[in-house]
Amino acid sequence: MVTRLTPPGAQPLPTEARLIRNEPYYEAVGGEIALFEAARASCLPVLLKGPTGCGKTRFIEHMAWRLQRPLITVSCHDDLTAADLVGRYLITANETLWVDGPLARAVRSGAICYLDEVVEARRDTTVVIHPLADDRRILPMEKRGELLQAPPEFQLVMSYNPGYQSVLKELKHSTRQRFVAIEFRYPDASLEEKIIRSESAADSATASALVRLAQMTRNLKGNGLDEGASTRLLVHAAKLITRGIPAAAACHGAIAEALSDDPEMLRAIDEFAASVF
């Protein structure tokens, strides 16, 4: 008889729920804050669409702070199963112990549950969020025979990058049509400059040169690049520059190499950097 088992991963997961106490820096681009608050007031789930590094995760952290609700983030990966979200039985000394998954914990505590890059998850997992994402707002826990009713404070949020090319990584319509979508784009030049300055303490000339560099790489999307440089990459480069790394080296490391492996493309991006600085 098995009395003691410690299989890998059997320890209860550390709690990711957190209440954000200090305001995360976020610059609103359009009406996204009002839209999010209205969706929340109407108990509607939200889908954040946009390219990588344009501020989706930062936005949701900011909203969690604004609303003073705990935020539970699940970074989705291709082995994420339904049980990873809902929960599973563990075995302790001759008894079984149910451990809630992050989604169940979020529902019970009325938190904001943020499923980051949801298309990365296995397709069947998106189905468990369907009853939570429509007007029923319930989470069926089959293994426990329990039906969790979400309180009004609970909010489901997913992020999705529509730029992926894999046909296996498209969001199913049955899923996406349950969500209020907020589209994120890169901020316009002056706002992006402001973001870089406040995130990295770079001076205004550096920030504006970086924005110009980013615009040039974004012009290359579809012409050799899958994505242009994101705001996040610009912040990385700015941080390196403020630590004394020469601009060309910082841009090469933080931007060029992050965008491409193609030697000609790397050279073109390096020449952008040599031009704007």
Partner 1 sequence: MNAPLSAAELGKRLDYLLGPVLSSRRTAAPLAQALSALDRQQQDFVLHWIEVIDRSNYELAYQFAAAAAEALGQLGASSAEAWIIHAMDAYDREGLFRGSEVFRQFDLFRRQAADSHAVTFAEYAPVLELFVCGLAGRRLKLEIADEAKTDTETLFLPPRIALFPDKADNCAVYRILAVLLWAQGRYGSWQADLGAACAARPDPARAAALLAHFEGLRLEARIARLFPGIARTMARLRGGEPDPRCAGLVSANATVGDSLALLDRLYDSFNPPALPWSFSLHPGTNAVRSARLARERSELAAALAALMRQHPPPESAAAAPEGRFSIETGQSADADGAAEFELRLDGRSVTPPAEVVQLIDSLLQDLGEIPDDCLQAAGGGGYREKDEDAEQTGDITPDGGHDGSAYFYDEWDYKRRHYRKNWCVLRETDIEPADDGFAVATLARYRPQIAQLKRSFEALRGEDRLLKRQSGGDDIDFDALVEGCVDLKTGMELPERLLTRRHKAERNLAALFMVDMSGSTKGWVNDAERESLVMLCEALEVLGDRYAIYGFSGVTRQRCEIYRIKRFDDAYDDTVRRRIAGITPRDYTRMGAAIRHLTTLLDAVDARTKLLVTLSDGKPDDYSDHYRGKYGIEDTRQALIEAHHAGIKPFCITIDQEARDYLPQLYGPANWTLVDNVERLPLKVADIYRRLTA
Which spans of this chain sit near partner 1 (rule: CB under 8 A)? 1-2, 5, 7, 88-91, 94, 96, 143, 162-168, 188-189, 209, 212, 215-217, 219-220, 222-224, 264-265, 267-268, 271-277
DSSP state of 253: I
Shortest Cβ distance from residue 212 to partner 1 (Å)? 7
Shortest Cβ distance from residue 267 to partner 1 (Å)? 5
Measured from the CB atom, the residue of 66 and 212 that comes closer to partner 1 is 212
Q: Are strands 87-92 and 138-141 parallel, antiparallel or unpaired?
A: unpaired
Measured from the CB atom, the residue of 2 and 21 that comes closer to partner 1 is 2
Q: Which is nearest to 210 in space by CA: 225, 195, 226? A: 195
Q: Are strands 155-160 and 112-116 parallel, antiparallel or unpaired?
A: parallel
Measured from the CB atom, the residue of 138 and 265 that comes closer to partner 1 is 265
Angle, CA of 25, 117 and 120, to the nearest 5°: 160
Measured from the CB atom, the residue of 23 and 146 that comes closer to partner 1 is 146
Measured from the CB atom, the residue of 7 and 14 that comes closer to partner 1 is 7
Shortest Cβ distance from residue 138 to partner 1 (Å)? 23
Shortest Cβ distance from residue 43 to partner 1 (Å)? 27
Shortest Cβ distance from residue 85 to partner 1 (Å)? 16
Distances from the Cα of 271 to the Cα of 74, 222, 249, 264, angstroms: 39, 19, 12, 11
Measured from the CB atom, the residue of 18 and 172 that comes closer to partner 1 is 172
What is the sign of the dihedral through the CA atoms of 102, 104, 110 and 114? positive
Shortest Cβ distance from residue 133 to partner 1 (Å)? 24
Q: Give yes or no for a contact between 39 and 46, defined as CB atoms under 8 angstroms apart.
A: yes
Burial pattern 159-180, b for ≥16 Cβ within 10 A else e, equals bbbeebeeeebebeeebbebbe
